[in-house]
Amino acid sequence: MVDLTVGPGERVAVVGASGAGKSTLLGLANGSVLPTAGSVRVLGADPAALRGRALRQLRARVGTVHQHLELVGQLRVVHNVNAGRLGAWSGLRAAWSLVRPQGLPDVEAALDRVGLADRVYERTERLSGGQRQRVAIARLLVQQPDLVLADEPASALDPVLADQALRLLGELALERGGALLACLHDPAMALRHCDRVVGLAAGRVVLDEPVAALSAADLAAFYGAPA
């Protein structure tokens, strides 16, 4: 039972042991998991009540960096980034883009922001884990969502790149007046890049505090590790 409201302009870190329900929470927010009880409102709409075009339009406003990224390895980076616009594109345009990549300047700018400007035409499966994570973030940059969901978006990145990645996601969410909801396993990261921390345990909210009221030691205790 989760009772949680995230307002516009908020950057929320979701923390908790594995199996606590973090990924399910994100799934509820992007409509890929339907609630068995209770209700969910995302950007003012209930994903479970929508169908067809209306559901797609809602989903196009929610961008997700999945835990396992779920990129298509056989496609070039440019297509994986462009996939962020599939919600806005017609089927024909999507097909033609595989032959002649559409909206190339945006893709190049997005890849440049994540430091992969020279990998536009690389096959995605040939990239390292950290590079793929940044491709997934570039996909969100071209998608321009109002709500940004991220499941361990920096797990394969070194500390410097991880900071960049989270700052980017935060900026992306805030520049359109939206919100960021990120599952993080690193307490320091949560304190640095978010405004509010929500702790989950066995599917329940057990902690909900603004960052200002928390210290690294509080969070470390929450993760169950010695401070």
Burial of 213 (0-12, 13-18, 19+ CB in 10 A): exposed
- The answer to whether 106 contacts another protein (rule: CB under 8 A) is no
Coil, helix or strand at residue 209: strand
Amino acid at 217: A
Phi, psi of 220 (to 5 degrees): -60, -40
CB of 121 to another protein, least distance (A): 5
- The answer to whether 109 contacts another protein (rule: CB under 8 A) is yes
Site string for another protein, 66-85 (x = CB under 8 A): x-x-xxxxxxx--x---xx-
Position among 43, 45, 86, 174 found at the interface with another protein (CB under 8 A): 86
- The answer to whether 176 contacts another protein (rule: CB under 8 A) is no
Structure letter (DSSP) for residue 123: B
Position among 13, 25, 30, 182 found at the interface with another protein (CB under 8 A): 30
- The answer to whether 127 contacts another protein (rule: CB under 8 A) is no
**How far apart, in Å, do the first and last CA atoms of the chain sit?**
29
- The answer to whether 62 contacts another protein (rule: CB under 8 A) is yes
Distance CA 79, CA 159 (A): 28
Nearest to 194 by CA among 176, 177, 214, 175: 214
Applying CB under 8 A, the residues found at the interface with another protein are 30-32, 56-64, 66, 68, 70-76, 79, 83-84, 86-91, 94-95, 98, 101, 108-109, 112-113, 115, 117-121, 139, 143, 145, 160, 163-164, 167-168
